[in-house]
Structure 1
Amino acid sequence: MSTEIQLITDLMETYFTALHQADPDLIRPIFHPDARYVDATQGFYRNLSVKEYLQVLVDRESPKSKGAQITGQIERIDIDPGGMAFIRANMQMLNRHYTDYLTLTKSEGTWLIQSKIFVWETL
């Protein structure tokens, strides 16, 4: 596995853990300060700043506290040599299936999520 793939895989493990725990302190360091969070599910559209997204996590009861498991899987990683990456990931938690499209940028050797666009459906 290439170093870049490993770095992105590590970031995604943190991402899945942070969502399971609804922990803004875990998620903050992996998001670019200017990143966007977009729920593109029909009828539920939201486009939030990172600050607004972190508040969503603070206000949410975590899946972990409810005894719920989370399953996260990276479906695809595309890396551009110019310092950009695209990830498609699937996740199941709290009776929903999520499909996330994450765009990452690399700055000073660190990958950060620049945008999170997702849809979900009830299981």
Structure 2
Amino acid sequence: MKNTILSILFVFSLNLISAQSQSGTTDIQEISETLMLYIDGTQNGKPEKLKKAFHPDFNLYTVTEEDSLRIRSGAKYVSNVREGKISNRIGRIISIDYENDAAIAKVEILVPNRIYTDYFLLLKYEGSWKIVHKSYTWKPTKN
């Protein structure tokens, strides 16, 4: 029994080791860091952090009140973040799922009277994770 448990632990530890990148961080940690660049960049007026998080050609997608698709330029979105302008936003990572070099993530952003839910598609290329797509929705907060 003891040998069986040790064997299972050994196999599990090999899986953890293989999930680490060359720098010693795991993909989950790297994805989280990319998402935190987005959260911190929008919350604290740091467009350079957004530029690190997003692929230059990313777009944002949502559904309008008229039930049509709205597509916004990611470059325009980043340009609207003013350097040093702190906003009243609180963000948190809800979930991350990845396989190899593709990931999806869910983030919630609390602003006065609303909660935004952001869904991200991330890809790992040239050694780092980048957000390549953002779809979002919102709902009023319960006061």
More strand by share: 1
Instruction: Kindly indicate whether the alpha-carbon contact (under 8 Å) linking 1:102 and 1:117 is maintained by their aligned counterparts in 2.
Output: yes
Q: Please state how far the C-alpha of 1:99 moved relative to its aligned partner.
A: 0.4
Count of equivalent residues? 116
Find 1:50's aligned residue among 74, 94, 116: 74
Between structure 1 and structure 2, the one with the greater Rg is 2
Q: Which has the higher contact order (CA 8 A, sep 6+)?
A: 1
- The match for 1:114 is 132
SS of residue paired to 2:65: coil
> For residue 27 of structure 2, what is the aligned residue in structure 1?
4
TM-score (norm 2): 0.70
User: TM-score scaled by structure 1?
Assistant: 0.80
Instruction: Provide structure 1 residue ranges, at least 5 long, that are not aligned to the other structure.
Output: none
Aligned identity (percent) is 29
Rounded to whole Å, the distance in 1 between the matches of 2:44 and 2:64 is 23
Decide whether aligned partners of structure 1 residues 49 and 30 sit closer, same or farther in structure 2, where only a CA change above 3 A counts.
same
Secondary structure of the corresponding residue to residue 14 of structure 1: helix
Supply the distance in 2 between the matched residues of 1:22 and 1:51 (Cα, whole angstroms).
Answer: 15
SS of 2:80's equivalent in the other structure is helix
1:41–1:118 Cα contact (<8 Å) kept: no
Q: CA RMSD in A?
A: 2.3
Aligned to 1:71: 90
Contact 2:60 2:74 in 1 (8 A): yes
Aligned partner letter, 1:75: I
